[in-house]
Chains A and B, each alone.
Chain A
């Protein structure tokens, strides 16, 4: 074989482009007629909030790089400028597609008895009267109109806020002749619901708040005549880097950053299609924005309001009803979690199985007199999290509680700082993240003093300690009291407390120091096995794959003949079907009702498969700039379970897209009766398991019948 250069940039896809492809897959769910109407609205709403975050973080940082004169090329060989050029048309096309979908869905809603009144002019007299009254009673008092003239500068427009801009003429003057038209703006108040339900006799009718304001805008500027008015929204740069080396107190620094974040550079302007050219000109000039960053929207701005539509009651038949998460057979309600773990490792599969045992694990530890210490990492937790409450309670009970709170969890800082302070008050030892690294691993350790000595109980997971998202994200967790894992867990927390690394790791692999090497070695082992004619193979599932070293290793493995099946929900910089490079690699993506979030890696290892779960994706940021944990599943039965779970997902025909060699994703058309959805199948399996818990036991064991 000729020596291939697997690092050639032409074998890689730009990650931003791949991300847009992912959002397209989400959009394709919104287009899928087989899916319940309101679910489709939800998917459309998700594409909008996804896109917002993409602009705020990714586009913003590319723009930063251009400003800073940074010219380092990306994985696909593109400089920041080149990436932006690649993205502009793709993003504009995507937005067009979003609104085509919106109009189709709106029409469908209308048929099903929900009319979204698009423009205030479309209201009937009765509705208009209601809207005006609503405006006078509830909206007017909270509005702050701002006009611009020589004494008043252009107002600060808040990031992500929806606004209405207006062009005004002095009362009595002919607006066509008035050369001194006044620009004014008013923010659509975020404290009021975006949707206004209109009184209606037949079906439901709703209108958006900005339309109600626009209809009444003349009431805000009494000495002027309205020439033109139009809603607009801006997006500013949010990914301000935090200067950790210089920050005396990381916490204060982050609090400062949140306040500053609202006033970053404007990187996107959305206006309604048909906006007055003069208004647009003023906005362009005052916001200092380029042509390619302006999106003229054919429909309502900020589609995230569709989530509110989804929340309307009375349309239950248009929504998918997920079953309640099932109990874990080994951990029935009221059981002693520690006793159950002592009987053997326990695997949790969320959201099919309930997250309650994990909460219970911490809760029981909090009140158990034999528990000496609880240590846990917290990345994103729900508001009023029962875990946070249990930790506080444990500290109040005199236990040593150490919590690493990751303040740098994107957009969550404000929320995190609040309860981190609360934990500290109750006596927990709180570590506010690590300088230069994000702590993304999900690990909880309970140290318990038992009759025969210290025993450590560990929970390791692929998802956050968040009881709310645990109902929406597919994740896996392991509860174990295996000594080698307990020892490693103790070492993890020693490291997180600032102490030196342990002399050795028994089972866990940690990023940023060891995980990547370990992964590369595991891939390499498969490569060598294939070369030597032994059994080889890699099956892996993750959210994103864009680490160049890992991809190069996978290419090398593929070239050596290793069969590689990947389930990558989001970004994938790996290209399939390159002759001699990736012909043995298949990449799939599942976008379903639940957000696919678990990371599962299976290496064939010459017929002795090794199964790992992890908190990390195969991205440079996970492998190099975060604290992440990869942990093996060693119990034979649980190993089989994980292999089964991953194998089932590859069989999906309902939600699975295939990455094509040209970089596009295709979904195979399958007749409805032949559709197989792994998510639905797992729901069923979790329920079956409860009814027939025997399946849990080793299927290789014969069970003699006691009675005939």
Chain B
């Protein structure tokens, strides 16, 4: 049957994970996303790359073969689009680019590497796709514990918005490798694990949790999630367990031999050690955060990939505004470094007015608009470290702070825009010499910097004088009409000095015109 416009669209998501390859086939329609097929193949790429930063040839061959098979399956379903992502196992190799090229040539699959924050964002989307259940859970203070092979990601919600996210290198496979090197007796394992986890967990708690109360934990893992409903007593279709029931179950699992656990949970014996570590992590976090309940929705990266694809292609209406989460995260960071909220808001308003008013010229889209907003929010975070070197320090803070939902490159763009708001602009040759910035990113940086700079100039007195702003474009002039309660002498002086860079970037002369609504 030829695909008609309203027919559900077939989409495939491939996750090349650290211990498993996974292909999911989805059918996406306005009614929602329906999973048609789920194919898994166990392949522990992570055990190679975490230890040696390389992947053995035998495993690569197996990867090629399975991806080739995945491709055949996609063909069988007449899949229209697919996204294939690799996560930490491939990310943490020294020759990632070479591997990707081999994969493309040998299996015909275009594989991309997700940065940790992109991966976690997709995981988060997979969870958020549960809609009402998710909303009900995060109505109370909630933490997401996303347990991966290489690292775990802890994210905190406050009043329904995601505010903090932090990755800890405590992934299941990584801990397993470390434990194996120590060759402990089975009775020592739990104590060793506690030691490895507790240090990092207590720092996280001290830094971010402070006196926040966490009521709910949302758990994502590839090990226990599958069995959660059947294994933990009292868990119903909602897949929610009380902390007490879970802790009792987890204590039981940790104390039992592999064979017994495999038998009780109906899993293979070889997957028991990883499951135990994952359960151990959940246990530590649940105890340490003092949560009341755990929700284990059984969501996986592939679900998030499908959700994002559906969202991007407008195949269904999104259930959540994820940009708001990114902005809320940035706001939390700004607050941590004592940034001024009012000033940031004013800056954002002006910058957005300019951005929106000159859409025709700059050709930038939603994503760049978001970065501009983030740059306004974080424009002065570096002053927390040193007031005379705000640009450099802001750049360092942004580059070293996790912001869920931004790719590595986007984060770099953001850091540069904030930096050049304060410091001399670096041209491509200089910039690309010490960063991953490519030409396209460079242009984005230049364009956003130009906008942020004149916005900054317009609010230079930091007194938020401007109430309303209108931007109009005529020939070679960008006219900015501002409705200001107070006079703008100070701003106009700054503006002239900033306009030169704007002119250089856009070939437009910005002109400021005061129109007082009060007159």
User: A residues touching B (Cβ–Cβ < 8 Å)?
Assistant: 369-370, 372-373, 400, 447, 449-454, 490-491, 494, 498-500, 502-504, 513-514, 517
Contact = CB atoms under 8 A, between A and B. Distances in A.
A499 B40 contact: yes
Given A373-B76, A490-B37, A500 B20 contact: yes
B336 interface: no
B38 A502 contact: yes
Contact of B29 (A400, A453, A504): A453
Given A453-B8, A500-B41, A372 B78 contact: yes
B428 interface: no
Interface in B27-83: 27, 29, 34, 36-42, 72, 75-78
Interface in B379-427: none
A448 to B, nearest CB: 9
A372 B77 CA distance: 6
B41 A513 contact: no
Contacts of A500: 20, 40-42
A499 B41 contact: yes
Contact of A369 (B1, B38, B39): B1
Contact of A494 (B7, B8, B39, B266): B39
Contacts of B36: 454, 490
B298 interface: yes
Interface of B: 1, 7-8, 10, 20, 27, 29, 34, 36-42, 72, 75-78, 226, 229-230, 266, 298
A359 to B, nearest CB: 23
Contacts of A453: 7-8, 27, 29, 34
A372 to B, nearest CB: 6
Contact of A452 (B8, B39, B42): B8
Contacts of A502: 38
Contacts of B29: 452-453
Contacts of A499: 39-41
A494 B37 contact: yes
Nearest to B77: A372
Contact of B77 (A451, A454, A494): A454
Contacts of A498: 41
Nearest to A429: B72
Nearest to B27: A453
Nearest to A503: B226
Nearest to A456: B36
Contacts of A400: 72, 75-76
Contacts, number: 53
26 contacts: A369-B1, A370-B1, A372-B77, A373-B76, A373-B77, A400-B75, A447-B76, A449-B1, A449-B78, A450-B1, A451-B1, A451-B7, A453-B7, A453-B27, A453-B29, A453-B34, A454-B10, A490-B36, A491-B38, A494-B38, A494-B39, A499-B41, A500-B40, A500-B41, A500-B42, A504-B229
A503 B78 contact: no
B298 A503 contact: yes
Q: Most chain-B CB neighbours within 10 Å: which of A453, A502, A504, A513?
A: A453
A453 B28 CA distance: 9
Contacts of B229: 504
Contacts of B1: 369-370, 449-451
Nearest to B263: A517
Given A491-B38, A500-B20, 7 more contacts: A373-B76, A453-B8, A453-B27, A494-B38, A499-B40, A500-B41, A504-B229
A370 B20 CA distance: 33
B27 A503 contact: no
Contacts of B226: 503-504
State the 7 A-B residue pairs at the shortest beta-carbon distance, nearest first.
A400-B76, A500-B40, A503-B226, A453-B8, A453-B27, A499-B39, A370-B1
A342 B10 CA distance: 22
A514 B266 contact: yes
A517 B76 contact: no
A514 B266 CA distance: 8
B227 to A, nearest CB: 8
Contact of B76 (A372, A450, A494, A513): A372
Contact of A503 (B10, B37, B38, B75): B38
Contacts of A491: 38
Nearest to A452: B8
Nearest to A450: B1
B344 to A, nearest CB: 44
Contacts of B8: 452-454
A623 to B, nearest CB: 15
A453 B77 CA distance: 11
Contacts of B38: 491, 494, 502-503
Contacts of A447: 76-77
Nearest to B40: A500
Contacts of B20: 500
A373 B78 CA distance: 10
Contacts of B39: 494, 499
A574 B20 CA distance: 44
Contacts of A370: 1
B340 to A, nearest CB: 49
A436 B226 CA distance: 27
A478 B17 CA distance: 38
Contacts of A503: 38, 226, 298
Contacts of A514: 266
Contacts of B76: 372-373, 400, 447
Contacts of B77: 372-373, 447, 454
A451 B7 CA distance: 6
A171 to B, nearest CB: 72
Contacts of B78: 372, 449
A513 B40 contact: no
Contacts of B10: 454
Contacts of B75: 400
A500 B226 CA distance: 13
A454 B75 CA distance: 14
Nearest to A504: B226
A692 to B, nearest CB: 38
A58 to B, nearest CB: 31
A490 B36 CA distance: 9
B7 to A, nearest CB: 7
A392 to B, nearest CB: 17
A454 B36 CA distance: 8
Contacts of A454: 8, 10, 27, 36, 77
Nearest to B20: A500
A371 B266 CA distance: 35
A500 B20 CA distance: 10
A373 B72 CA distance: 12
Contacts of A373: 76-77
Contacts of B41: 498-500
B517 to A, nearest CB: 55
Nearest to B6: A451
A232 to B, nearest CB: 52
A498 B62 CA distance: 13
Nearest to B41: A499
